[in-house]
Structure 1
Amino acid sequence: MTTLQVSGPVVEPSPVKGWLAVLAVTLGIFALMTSELLPVGLLTPIGSALHVSEGTAGLMVTVPGLVAAVSAPLVTVATGKVDRRLVLAVLIGLVGAANLASAFATSFAVVLVARFLIGISVGGFWSLAGGIALRLVPARHVTRATAVIFGGVEAASVLGVPTGTLIGDFSGWRTAFAAVGILGLTSLACMIFLMPKVAPEATLTFADLPKVFRANAALRVGIAMTFLVITGHFVAYTFVRPVLQADGVEPGMIGALLLAFGVAGICGNFLAGALITKRLRQTAVGIAAILTTAMVLLAVTDHDVYTAGAILILWGLGYGAVPVTFQTWILDAAPHATEAASSLYVSMFNLSIALGALFGGLAVDSFATAGVLWIGGGLALLALLVLLLGTGGAGNSRRAAH
């Protein structure tokens, strides 16, 4: 395995300053994920306003996902000698500007250009932020700080996407994009004033990425389960609004149901944070099983708003556990090459978002809307089989060793 050592003497970070920086990064992750996933709750009104189908509107999720998959390693390598605070600040500022551009867009092409820029930010920011808790807080706080940072992902589901959906329903989708743009600029200010300079690790090259991947079986398993779980989730979740409306759920209730999904996601995030120290592999298995069950139930059950809400809560519990569990798996698999491993993980995560939205869009335009649930459930089931049949003790042995 390629070992990337931290340059210079080891200095114990200040807990107070470190946690302020962690909160700034958490707000950035919240703004990023809200930006990336905001179209999920607004596909129908955006498509109608800009005269494109719901499947085509799904490109608003596909484009940033594909770009982020490429930008994660590119930004990590290209900024190898640059202060991490500066890089993160530039990327989150770009998110704010791109969302404001979307708010004033007069054509779908302009929106896609803005989504392209958001993809650059998502890939670069996340690949650097994934392991940055190691550099901000004392060692005894790293696990908790990582859970807090990735709680920003679930907070985006709880507050960002549902609130954006509600704003879109009552004030129009342009207002929702403008609000997220302002959120991005607020994150930029917090990054500048609350985060210390973070010196880069030893210079990372493109050659380091395949070396880390080839030398580490646990990392390969983590990348594989990320592809299957995230693609499966976003095949279905990107089109959850038309799925629910096709089953008779009133459009005005969609925001409330997404809020229930997000609240469950917060619970799943912190539940997983308590379990993964000793039961990392079992937690990953549970995630795949829950997601499979939830998507199949939503496909086969005749439901009203209450049963749909119950299934979405189950789904949210499972997906809420994904970011902190999968990121921890990746960091444990490559503890001496965190930026290289994180960039590979973020690349696959966002590629999977893009592929999920793309395949889901094709399925929605070509087949019954509920078909996305069967595809998503099938991919989650494959992830479960990979974990049960192909991993052995991967993950747990590393946690036990710490």
Structure 2
Amino acid sequence: MNDVSQRTPPAWSAVFSMTLGVFGLVTAEFLPVSLLTPMAADLAITEGMAGQAVTATAAVALVTSLLITAATRRIDRRYVLLAFSGLLVISNLLVAYAPNMPSLLLGRVLLGVALGGFWTMSAATVMRLVPEDSVPRALSMIFSGVSVATIVAAPMGSFFGEIIGWRNVFLIAALFGALAFLVQLATLPRMAPNARTRLKTLFEVLQRPMVGLGMLAAAMIFAGHFAFFTYIRPFLETVTRVDVNGMSSILLGFGLANFLGTFLGGFMLERNMRLTQIVMPATMGILGLGLAGVGGVPLLDAMMIALWGMAFGTVPVAWSTWLTRTVPDEAESAGGLLVAAIQFAIASGAAVGGLIFDAGGAIGVFMVSGSVLLLAALLILFGIKAQTAAAT
């Protein structure tokens, strides 16, 4: 049961403060993608080495997601979340002033801790801030921060990097982190820790009915998506054959549709969570196969890619909502498992997608991606019951 279900009004200002935190974290996570060349040149390293800044963050986030709940089980959740936002600021400052690769990696490791920890506790925290029937809407609000960050980080990072330098871009990111910290300090209520949580709780949660299959289905969806998303640029270059301006427009359309999808997800989930979980990966799968089969017409490709973005916008909201309803008594531990599954799926989707790309090009990646997504939809349809798992 939501422990603030009787609170009036719901703590929407605190939800907004978490949205700011998510925006700051995801922006910082992906900034190196748009600033890789100047970062490498300034630090006298290869672009491949500079790219490890992203890898280090993801790897640490995965480990943190599994350990953070037990490690902080006796600490007020308000202070834990504030600590993550503090780490975001420190991380960006370390990167901005990094004289060498080790300093850069240290900053990115701290970001990984903040990223993995914040995501792990996000769903459980939302359950404490708003009534149960408002959880999907609150989660869609938080995940809108991801969509905005996706739109902003790459194009704006690259644009401002050319004007003011990559280090100043990270200083601006640090200011966003400081703003999130201050708003959270003003709005987050005290939230008692769950002292019962230990590492073995992760295994106990995973053994509950439907939880393991749910994690597998979520991982398949994210793997399918990131195999697609990682190789969308070469698809647009070699199959759609658009110029840089056309590519930027299509990717902007994807980002805007993804942003709208987060709010569409909240609306749909309040009405039928199971239908949303099935229809959206199925839609993405059909679109992936459609792009592989009839791709090459710029307008049609742009429409299908935008629809993909909208469909995927609902996915993080859907699975976080599923988590709060399936494991309400251990939402933090379940959140850690979900974050770990997603991080693993992102890494494996991109890696396997690379092997397929080398063998069969972007069309081969999209065919496999679409097939995996359709299999995920079938797994949800036939393997995961409509009712949520009972808490034990």
| TM range, smaller chain | 0.7 to 0.9
1:119 to 2:112 alignment:
yes
Return the alpha-carbon distance in structure 1 between the equivalents of residues 279 and 122 of structure 2: 26
Of residues 126-135 and 161-170 in structure 1, the stretch that sits farther from structure 2 once superposed is 161-170
**Which residue type is aligned with residue 22 of structure 2?**
I
Instruction: Select which of 373, 376, 385 maps to 2:369.
Output: 376
Correspondence for 1:261? 254
Q: Does 1:144 align with 2:144?
A: no
**What does 1:3-402 align with in structure 2 at a 5 Å threshold?**
12-15=6-9, 18-40=11-33, 52=46, 59-105=52-98, 110-168=103-161, 173-217=166-210, 219-247=211-239, 248-252=241-245, 254-303=247-296, 306-361=299-354, 368=361, 371-391=364-384, 394=385, 396-398=386-388
Cα distance change, pair 11–383 in 1 and its aligned pair in 2 (3 A) = closer
TM-score of the superposition, structure 1-length normalised?
0.83
Name the count of aligned residue pairs: 387
Q: C-alpha distance in 2, partners of 1:254/1:41?
A: 15
Q: CA deviation at 1:331?
A: 1.5
Distance in 2 separating the partners of 1:111 and 1:357 = 23
Segment drifting more, 350-359 vs 187-196: 350-359
- Evaluate the alpha carbon distance shift between residue 131 and residue 290 of structure 1 in structure 2; reply closer, same or farther with a 3 A threshold: same
- Structure 2 unaligned regions, length at least 5: none
Q: Deviations over 1:41-83 (max 9, x none)?
A: 56677678876467x7664444322221210121111011111
Aligned-pair CA distance for 1:23: 0.7
Give a deviation string over 1:187-215, Cα, whole Å, max 9, x none: 12222222222221343111111111112
Q: CA deviation at 1:233?
A: 1.4
Q: 1:229 and 1:168, CA in 2 relative to 1: closer, same or farther beyond 3 A?
A: farther
What is the distance in 1 between the residues matched to 2:373 and 2:34? 22
Task: Answer with 245-254 or 118-127: which moved more.
Answer: 245-254
Unaligned 5+ segments in structure 1 are none
TM-score by length of 2: 0.85
Alignment partners' CA distance in 1, 2:102 and 2:368: 29
Percent identity reads 33
203-212 or 159-168, larger mean C-alpha shift: 159-168
Deviation track 1:16-48 (CA, whole Å, cap 9, x = no partner) reads 6x1111110111112222223344556677678
CA distance in 1: counterparts of 2:189 and 2:129, whole angstroms: 8
CA gap 1:316/1:63 in 2 versus in 1, 3 angstroms: same
Contact 1:46–1:173 (8 Å) recurs in 2: yes
Question: What one-letter code is carried by the residue in structure 1 that aligns with 2:204?
Answer: K
Q: Structure 1 residues 166 and 293 mapped into 2: Cα distance closer, same or farther (>3 Å)? A: farther
Distance apart, 1:262 and its partner CA = 1.8
Q: Secondary structure at the match of 1:190?
A: helix
Would the aligned equivalents of 1:80 and 1:202 in 2 still touch at CA under 8 Å? yes
What is the CA distance between 1:308 and its match in structure 2?
A: 4.1
Could you say what the CA RMSD is over the residues aligned between the two structures, in angstroms?
A: 3.3
